[in-house]
Homo-oligomer: A and B are copies of this chain.
């Protein structure tokens, strides 16, 4: 099926674009009242993730309502540890919770490298539903968590401030850590390939906890696995978003990915210098700028577009949009990008 709007993919590949494409991390979600209506009809976040027709519906909402240039499949990075053997629950106001964790060699028996179509078929089915309903209007982005971030949740069993237990394991059990990271990596490659087979036009890797590791540790336990995934996924453009990993830009430069997501700390000029001219940069407005008044938001968006320039840029925030942001502000951000003339 031909895409009517392929700005995102052309920007990712470094081809000429009429204007900078724009989408937002977490655009499918609580910022939209249309999402909240569906969410209130169903018992729990996970039920929504696991019901392909509804997941597809909320995936498409921001395309209809906000006019973004891409849909990102509504899902969660934690479906991967679950498919590998560690079920999770989403506790209201607390976040994710795993009853079982990986702390020792003996815990490895809980883990497998699953067949993604068998264990994560609800995600690939949601992608197929989305593709069908979108009918080529915009590309669909698939995604997965980066191995280090998934490993952190598997070890900690929840979000924490310091992830000290997961970081401790890298020092006390490096062999076991690599074994688990290896299994996550294999699962992730198969999972992304299944998403692509189902129709994902691009995929993004989220390394949400990249910023907690010292540079040497991240090289050893973080970026090496991202490199392997990037090398294996050649079917569609890959985006690597390693939040907080300003110290790892040299490593990221070596990854075979088309696009690099930048958090709101990274200066475009610094990122461009470190990453070279063969990668597209994605980002990176401070998500809190969407709380500002319209004029300040428009000015900041213009400034961002000017600094990144007209080529090899995909406009986005530097992190997921915060759930209490006014949808009108998000729309203003999107429209400002779309109207901008370089």
Within 8 Å of chain B (Cβ to Cβ): is A44?
no
Also in contact, A265 and B164, with CB within 8 A (given A171-B292, A246-B246, A291-B171) = no
Complex contact A288–B215 (CB within 8 A): no
Also in contact, A267 and B162, with CB within 8 A (given A171-B291, A288-B168, A291-B171) = no
Q: In the complex, which residues of chain B have a beta carbon less than 8 angstroms from the beta carbon of A267?
A: 215, 247
Within 8 Å of chain B (Cβ to Cβ): is A167?
yes
Within 8 Å of chain B (Cβ to Cβ): is A217?
yes
Complex contact B168–A291 (CB within 8 A): yes
Q: Mark A167-192, 1 if CB is under 8 A from B, else 0.
A: 11011100000000000000000000
Complex contact B215–A292 (CB within 8 A): no
Cβ < 8 Å to B, chain A residues 193-221:
211, 214-215, 217
Q: In the complex, which residues of chain B have a beta carbon less than 8 angstroms from the beta carbon of A231?
A: none
Within 8 Å of chain B (Cβ to Cβ): is A45?
no
Q: In the complex, which residues of chain B have a beta carbon less than 8 angstroms from the beta carbon of A296?
A: 171
Cβ 8 A contact of A217, one of B161, B211, B286, B319: B286
Complex contact B214–A286 (CB within 8 A): yes
How near does chain B come to A317, taking the closest CB pair, in angstroms? 11
Number of this chain's copies in the complex? 2
List the B residue with the shortest CB-CB distance to A167: B288
Cβ 8 A contact of A159, one of B161, B164, B170, B288: B161
List the B residue with the shortest CB-CB distance to A265: B247
Interface centre among A164, A246, A264 (most CB of B within 10 A): A164
Complex contact B214–A265 (CB within 8 A): yes
Complex contact B322–A288 (CB within 8 A): no
Interface centre among A161, A162, A265, A267 (most CB of B within 10 A): A265
Q: Mark A241-281, 1 if CB is under 8 A from B, else 0.
A: 00010110000000000000000110100000000000000
Cβ 8 A contact of A291, one of B172, B244, B288, B322: B172
The 3 closest A-B pairs by CB, nearest first: A171-B292, A168-B291, A167-B288
Q: Could you tell me which A residues sit within 8 Å of B by CB distance?
A: 159, 161-162, 164, 167-168, 170-172, 211, 214-215, 217, 244, 246-247, 264-265, 267, 286-289, 291-293, 296, 318-319, 322, 324
A-B contact pairs, 29 of them (CB 8 A): A159-B161, A162-B319, A162-B322, A164-B287, A164-B288, A164-B322, A164-B324, A167-B286, A167-B288, A167-B291, A168-B288, A170-B288, A171-B288, A171-B289, A171-B292, A172-B292, A172-B293, A211-B244, A211-B265, A214-B265, A214-B286, A214-B318, A215-B265, A215-B267, A217-B286, A244-B244, A246-B246, A246-B265, A247-B265
Q: A162-B322, A214-B265 are in contact. List 7 more A-B contacts (CB 8 A).
A: A164-B287, A164-B322, A171-B291, A171-B296, A215-B265, A215-B267, A246-B246
